[in-house]
Structure 1
Amino acid sequence: MPCPDHITSVWCCKGRGLRATVASMTEHLMVFPDRDDAERIADDLRDEGFSEVRVVRESLAGEDDGEDHEWAVHVREDMIADESGAVEQGLRERFTTLAEKFDGWYDPDPAP
């Protein structure tokens, strides 16, 4: 049950002075031409403890050919309060660099 003082609270224990709130959830999408690269990156991110990581096959916009697919790594991260946005920006920069390293690209605003 949420703490009445914090609408987005996951748990709160005022008696011991402990409080954690999830202020936001971020989603990230990296797209790679190679399935093995996508799977390896997803495994590494899971090992790091991200909230949700999955690999999905992405069809290229405007392409009907079954061969024209790439592999997307979808990352969802529940975050502790990040009012400055520094954590989310850091993840965007990290994932952009990672995608480019493997000849992929980062989607800064993935569709739900």
Structure 2
Amino acid sequence: MSERHVLVLPDRDAAEELAEELSGRFGVAEEPQLVRDALAGEDDAEDAQWLVVVEDPEGRLDPAALDDFAAEYEGWLEAP
């Protein structure tokens, strides 16, 4: 079953580092998508979070492991 995992990171640097590590740590073949997510009501660009969207076409990634991995970068796995 195809799944999509969204990891929320505090800044672009953390998001880029996590995205680079994903293939080595989890064997993710498809390039993760990085998306800037401005917080509702926030005008300051510094308050933006970054999302790393990971396609999991075979549903083989462990959400708990992804959440732990994101926590290493002060982030988390968004609940589906």
Q: Same fold (TM over 0.5)?
A: yes
Q: Which has the higher strand share?
A: 1
Question: Sequence identity, in percent?
Answer: 35
Partner in structure 1 of residue 68 of structure 2? 97
Q: Is the radius of gyration larger for structure 1 or structure 2?
A: 1
Q: Is the CA contact (8 Å cut-off) linking 1:58 and 1:72 kept in structure 2?
A: yes
Change over 3 Å in CA distance of 1:35–1:66 after alignment to 2: closer
* Shift of residue 97, structure 1, vs aligned partner: 0.4
Q: Is the CA contact (8 Å cut-off) linking 2:18 and 2:70 kept in structure 1?
A: no
Instruction: Name the count of aligned residue pairs.
Output: 78
Partner in structure 2 of residue 30 of structure 1? 7
Partner in structure 1 of residue 51 of structure 2? 72
Query: Residue 56 of structure 1: SS of its match in structure 2?
Result: strand
Change over 3 Å in CA distance of 1:49–1:67 after alignment to 2: closer
Which protein has greater RCO, CA pairs closer than 8 Å, 6+ apart?
2
Return the letter of the residue paired with 2:29.
F
Residue ranges of structure 2 left out of the alignment (5+ in a row): none
Equivalent position to 2:21, from 44, 47, 57: 44
Using the alignment, how far apart are the partners of 2:5 and 2:71 within structure 1? 14
Q: TM-score, normalised by structure 1?
A: 0.58
Q: Is the CA contact (8 Å cut-off) linking 1:50 and 1:76 kept in structure 2?
A: no
Residue ranges of structure 1 left out of the alignment (5+ in a row): 1-23
Partner in structure 2 of residue 10 of structure 1? none
Q: TM-score, normalised by structure 2?
A: 0.77
